[in-house]
Amino acid sequence: MSITVRSVQALEILDSRGRPTLATTVTTSKGASFRAGVPSGASTGSGEAVELRDRDPARYGGAGVLTATANVNGAINDALAGQEFSDLAQLDQTLIALDGTDNKSALGANAIIGVSMAAARAFAATADLALWQYLTPAGVTPALPAPHFNVVNGGAHAPNKLDFQEFMLAPLGLPSYAEAVRAGAEVYAALKARLGKAGHATGLGDEGGFAPDLDRPEEVLETIVAAITDAGYTPGTDGVAIALDPAASEFYRDGSYHVAGQTLSSDDMIGYYASVVAQFPIWSIEDGLAEDDDDGWVRLTQTLGAKIQLVGDDNFVTNPTIIAEAVRRGVANAALIKVNQIGTVTETLEALTVCRDAGYAAMISHRSGETEDSFIADLAVGSGCGQIKSGAPARGERVAKYNRLLEIAAQNPDLPYRR
């Protein structure tokens, strides 16, 4: 079903870090308005679509989005207003052509993705579908995803000593989405109590996880396993497992990895992961190696790919072409999917198709800078990919996604829960 765009507008708002981002509204010729909030990353891959930031030192620490906002209200509105689009792919293609670069640096990926997300909502409503239904490709079974709760934050997301960025709870053994959420929240509370008792700070990082001043990942893993047990769950895939996002590009310098005061080679890192996987119930590792350590990634996949999930994020940047090439080279066995990394919803769906066709898993992801927008919850269900990460089970911008999934689950009791 087609839509005719009456106007496209953007407004500068704040994200969860207190930095400016865009709220974008698409209004159709029928007068209905659809809004989207644009997320923003901190540990970005170098191949990501370009987020336009104004370097005005007087404004928000020098990181405004006035130009991106003006591009929506100017060039994009001029190109779309009054036009009829038969589907989202056509509208997104118009945005891509209008930008004219291969990394969306002319108009800004932050300008484009907000329009694309709001337009997806307009198409869904016009077809009288929930967003998740609209985002379900033909032949794909929609499903509620297993939530991945980031409960300890380090790296670029917290001012502590911890080099690894994310330690996530994956309640894979719980029988329903709602019970997985409950388990995540209970372990989060148990972890807070345990950290507090041990004299560690329980302040939060950017994604709502605790940011204790621990430097050894093993110490964090031991504490999380203890908290899982404290809360009455079994550590492991039968109960609550652990997923990591070390975000290794952030501690890779001069060809070496710098972790907890040590200088390690790619093979040292691979050996290190093999050892922590043997000791702790870790089921998934994202960005275990740096984005440009491609040979290391191939060896990492050969060593651990049959045992656990290995997720490409900084190296894949939700780019269908890059993921297809990585599949050919035997890099990773799963991809992280972030809408603003590639810049349109249509290309995000293409990245998911590449994963599906290759037998790669996919995990839908938030960014460390978020808004209250819950688009990715619907995307996770529609893609049927079975996995989402949206930070801790606390803080409004993170729970907006988990709560939207609870709502979808309650409204659709027949939706399968895929793990």
Per the annotation, binding residues for Mg(2+) are 245, 286, 313
Contacting residue, 11, 32, 42, 324, with ligand 2PG by CB under 6 A: 42
- Rounded least distance, CB 244 to ligand 2PG, Å: 11
The residue (of 243 and 277) whose beta carbon lies closer to Mg ion is 243
Q: Is the backbone of residue 176 left (phi > 0), alpha (psi -120 to 50) or beta?
A: beta
Catalytic status, residue 338:
yes
Do 323 and 282 form a contact (C-beta atoms < 8 A)?
no
In the annotated binding site, the residues are 157, 165-166, 245, 286, 313, 338, 365-368, 389
By CB under 5 A, tell whether 313 contacts Mg ion. yes
Binding string to ligand 2PG for residues 347 to 376, with x set by CB under 6 A, is what?
A: ------------------x-xx--------
Q: What is the Cα–Cα distance from 193 to 121, expressed in whole angstroms?
A: 41
Q: Which does 42 bind (CB under 5 to 8 A by kind): Mg ion, ligand 2PG, none?
A: ligand 2PG
Across 1-37, b (16+ Cβ under 10 Å) vs e yields: eebebbebbbebbebbbebbbbbbbbbbeeeeebbbb
SS3 of residue 228 by DSSP: helix
Stretch that binds ligand 2PG, among 36-44, 83-91, 112-120, 326-334 (CB under 6 A): 36-44
- Which listed residue (104, 338, 397, 401) is catalytic? 338
Residue 76, CB-side half-sphere exposure with 13 Å CA sphere: 33
**Binding to ligand 2PG, residues 162-221 (CB under 6 A):** 166, 207
By CB under 6 A, tell whether 401 contacts ligand 2PG. no
Angle at 350 between CA 292 and CA 404, to 5 degrees: 100
SS3 of residue 309 by DSSP: strand
Contacting residue, 9, 21, 27, 44, with ligand 2PG by CB under 6 A: 44
| The residue type at 235 | P
By CB under 6 A, tell whether 392 contacts ligand 2PG. no
Size of the site for ligand 2PG (CB under 6 A): 13
The residue (of 248 and 327) whose beta carbon lies closer to Mg ion is 248
- Which residues pair with residue 147 across a beta bridge? 388
Q: What is the Cα–Cα distance from 163 to 252, expressed in whole angstroms?
A: 11
Residues that bind ligand 2PG (CB under 6 A): 41-44, 166, 207, 245, 247, 313, 336, 365, 367-368
Please identify every residue annotated as catalytic: 207, 338
